[in-house]
Amino acid sequence: MPSNLSELFQEELQDLYDAENQIVKALPKMAEAASDEELASAFQQHLEVTKKQVKRLEKVFQQLGIKPQGKTCEGMQGLLKEGEKMMKEIEKSPVLDAALIGAAQKVEHYEISGYGTVRTMAEILGQSEAAELLEETLDEEKETDENLTEIAESIMANGGGEDEEEEEEEEEEEEEEV
C-alpha cells in the first residue's frame, strides 16, 4: 500500500499502464465487431494512438527511474468484459455499434479520470515533464470521447436505432392513412 503521494503516483501509473495494454488487446476485436465503417476505422486509429500512449507512459516511468510494469487494472478488466459480453450477445448491427460506442466511452471516461489524476499528482510532485506527457494523453482521450459521440450521433441519425421492417411498416401505415 502506498504510504505517500509519490508511491500513490507510481501505483496509479502502473494501473494506467496495465489498462492501456488491455485496451491494445481489445480494440482490434471491437473494430472487427463494428458494422459501421467509420466506427471500425475509429477503433483502428485509436489502437495506434493507444500504442503511442503506452510508449509515453514508458517514458514517464523512465523519467521516474522505475521499471514500466502494470499491476492488474481490475476497473478496466470489468469495463472490457462488459464490452465483450455485448459483442457475444448482440448481432453485428447498428445496435451493436451503439453498444460498442457506449462501452468505449466508459473506457475513455475511466482513462480521462485516471490521466487527470496522475497529471495533477505529477504537477504537485514537481514532475513537470511527466505532467506534460500525461496532459498530452489526457487531451487525446478527451478527443477520442468527442469523436465517439459524433459517430454515435451519425449512426443514430441514420436510423441505426430502428429495424428496417419497422420502418417499412410505419411507411405502409402512413400511406394507408393518406
Q: Model confidence over 135-160: pLDDT tens digits?
A: 999 999 999 999 999 999 998 887 65
All three cell numbers of 103, joined, read 462501452
Q: For residues 48-68, give the mean pLDDT.
A: 96
Q: What is the pLDDT of residue 69?
A: 82
pLDDT digits (tens, 9 = 90+) for 80-138: 999 999 999 999 999 999 999 999 999 999 999 999 999 999 999 999 999 999 999 99
% pLDDT > 70, the chain: 88
Collapse the DSSP code of 2 into the 3-class scheme (helix H, G, I; strand E, B; otherwise coil) and give the result: coil
In tens, the pLDDT along 23-36 reads 999 999 999 999 99
DSSP letter for 67, please: -
For residues 40 and 121, give the distance between their C-alpha atoms in angstroms, rounded to a whole number: 35
Cβ-Cβ contacts under 8 Å for 29 (sequence gap 6 or more): 84, 87
**What is residue 132's predicted lDDT score, i.e. its pLDDT?**
98
* Confidence at residue 2, expressed as pLDDT on a 0 to 100 scale: 86
What is the CATH T-level fold of the domain 5-177, as seen in this structure? Ferritin (1.20.1260)
